C-alpha cells in the first residue's frame, strides 16, 4: 500500500516536470516562428542531421542576405548552433540569419550521444 502511494507521487512529479519542459519548448518555438514571419528571406538553406553528422560538411550561403535556415533531425535528436550567431535550433525549426562574409562553425547543441563531438560542419558566407 505504502509503495503504491510513493509510486503515485513519483509519477505525478515526473508528469509535472514533463509539462513544464513542454511549456518552455513551446514558447521558444513560438518566438522563432515570429522572427521568421517578420523577415523576408532572400535564400533558403536546408540542413538535416543524423547520428552523428550533418548532411553536408560545408554549406555556402550569400553574405549580407537574409538566409532562412531550415533544420531538421532525421535520426536521433540534434540541435543546430552556429558560432558567432544566436542561432540555436533544437530538433526541428527555422531561423533567419544575415551573415557577414566569413566561415562559421556549425555544431550540435544537444548532448546526443557518443558521436556528439564529431557533429561539426561549416557555413561559408560569401
Helix (H, G, I), strand (E, B) or coil at 45: strand
Q: CB within 8 A of 10, min separation 6: which ones? A: none
- Which of these segments, 20-28, 53-61, 85-93, 115-123, binds Cu ion (CB under 5 A)? 115-123
Tell me whether residue 41 or residue 112 sits nearer to Cu ion (CB atom): 112
Considering only 49, 108, 123, 125, the residue that binds Cu ion (CB under 5 A) is 108
**Least separation, in Å, of the C-beta of 72 and Cu ion?**
14
Provide the 8-state DSSP code for 42.
S
Residue 16's H or E segment, with its range, is helix 2-38
- Which of these segments, 53-61, 66-74, 86-94, 102-110, binds Cu ion (CB under 5 A)? 102-110
Amino acid at each position: 500500500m505504502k509503495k503504491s502511494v510513493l509510486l503515485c507521487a513519483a509519477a505525478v512529479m515526473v508528469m509535472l516536470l514533463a509539462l513544464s519542459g513542454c511549456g518552455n519548448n513551446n514558447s521558444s518555438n513560438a518566438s522563432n516562428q515570429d522572427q521568421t514571419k517578420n523577415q523576408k528571406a532572400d535564400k533558403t538553406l536546408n540542413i538535416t542531421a543524423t547520428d552523428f553528422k550533418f548532411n553536408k560538411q560545408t554549406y555556402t550561403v550569400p553574405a549580407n542576405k537574409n538566409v532562412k535556415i531550415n533544420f531538421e533531425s532525421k535520426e536521433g535528436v540534434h540541435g543546430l548552433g552556429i558560432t558567432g550567431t544566436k542561432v540555436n535550433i533544437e530538433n526541428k525549426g527555422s531561423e533567419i540569419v544575415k551573415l557577414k562574409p566569413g566561415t562559421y562553425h556549425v555544431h550540435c547543441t544537444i548532448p546526443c550521444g557518443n558521436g556528439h563531438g564529431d557533429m561539426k560542419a561549416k557555413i561559408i558566407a560569401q
